[in-house]
Amino acid sequence: MQLLTRMQYVSPKRGQLHQEHPNASGSHQGLRAKADSTLLEGTMSTIAPVTFTVSQRKKVTTRTFQQKKERGEPITMLTAYDYPTAQVMDQAGVDSILVGDSLAMVVLGYENTLPVTMEEMLHHCRAVSRGAKLALLVGDMPFMSYQASVEEAVRNAGRFLKEGNMDAVKLEGGRERIEAIRVITGAGIPVMGHLGLTPQSVHQLGGFRAQGKTAAAAKRLLEDALLLEEAGCFSLVLESVPARLAELVSQRISIPTIGIGAGVGCDGQVLVTHDLLGLFDRFTPRFVKKYADFHSAMQNAFASYLEDVQAKAFPAEEHSVDMAEDEWQALLKEI
Ligand code: KIV
């Protein structure tokens, strides 16, 4: 569905995309999906029925983030790395999509986020940008794309907007990143900060462990949050920190905080989509809520396919191309 302005909707009967008939009645705002007999080509009859409310949503910007914080409306964010996932998520109405460097682990199969490159990140950013039209798109700057020098940091941040079609970048770290953040925001590139458990520092942190648990560490994290705000970040991810600390930080800074394993007191929430969908089976962090079990669903689908092929139950007649009898007879005469 493109921007919903084309008024496509999903049939509750067959889970199929439709375009609204030009004469259809009903305002665009709040029009409920309904069944239609004029189906577009291509069926997806095995897909579970989906309905959603069509509304006049607008492109989410960094300003929308700020307004949501001011109104006390939670900001929703998810990670995506490919076109179809971004498209479905965008249609579901997510405020923001992060092309996270978690790509390294949940898609590319690395042990941690360190190996993923700028080229890999940009490749996936472009795919996501083709699928998502309304969500604020944030590209995650990979390890060593912003740490070595401020010049490299701003150049690489720029590539996320120019080549990756992102709206903003995210980078990890506190006081040690202030200079880079100033220069990047000075170039007109919105920056999302990231404090607490910063996975690119996994070796320095001694593993993927919660942060800010002592009074001293919590004070340092609050100071860093204030510094990031002052340096020009439009928002801040807080990962794996005590809920009461995240709530305090959210109250003390004027930019929105986006929590992951940081409790309900943040201004918004983000999850790694492969965790939420139950698609990444190596481990599940304690703070993840699984909303589906795609790993089992895929196992079942693949097993059924193998069974069908082995039993010659697939392809059936409807999956095969027919040839006219006269053409067939003509061929037989020729050979
Ligand atoms: O890379 C990522 O997915 C992230 C989120 C966990 C915030 O940084």
Cis? peptide before 22, omega within 30° of 0: no
CB 215 within 8 A of CB 183: no
How many domains in the chain? Answer: 2
Say if residues 133 and 8 touch (Cβ distance below 8 Å): no
pLDDT tier at 50, thresholds 50, 70, 90? low
Catalytic residue among 176, 239, 325, 327: 239
Mean pLDDT over 53-72 rounds to 90
Residue 334 lies in a domain: no
Give the model confidence (pLDDT) of 213-259 as tens digits.
999 999 999 999 999 999 999 999 999 999 999 999 999 999 999 99
154, 81: one domain: yes
Residue 129 sits in the same domain as residue 252? yes
Mean pLDDT of the chain: 88
Are residues 49 and 70 both part of a single domain?
A: no
Residue 305 lies in a domain: no
42 and 185 co-located in one domain: no
120 and 264: one domain?
yes
Q: Looking at the structure, do residues 36 and 124 belong to the same domain, yes or no? A: no
Whether residue 36 sits in one domain with residue 87: no
Domain that holds residue 34: 1-56
Q: Which residues contact 207 (CB under 8 A, 6 or more apart)?
A: none
Question: Which residues surround ligand 1 with Cβ inside 6 Å?
Answer: 79, 98, 100-102, 140, 237, 239, 260, 270, 272
290 pLDDT more than 60: yes
pLDDT for the residue numbered 55: 65
Averaged pLDDT, 95-108: 98
State the average pLDDT over residues 57-77: 98
Which protein residue's CA is at the shortest distance from atom 1 of ligand 1?
Answer: 100
Residue after which a domain boundary falls, among 276, 299, 317: 276
Q: What is the pLDDT of residue 282?
A: 85
| Res. 61: pLDDT tops 70 | yes
| C-beta of residue 151 within 8 angstroms of C-beta of residue 208 | no
152 catalytic per annotation: no
Contacts of 272 (CB under 8 A, 6+ apart): 79, 100, 102, 106, 260, 280, 288
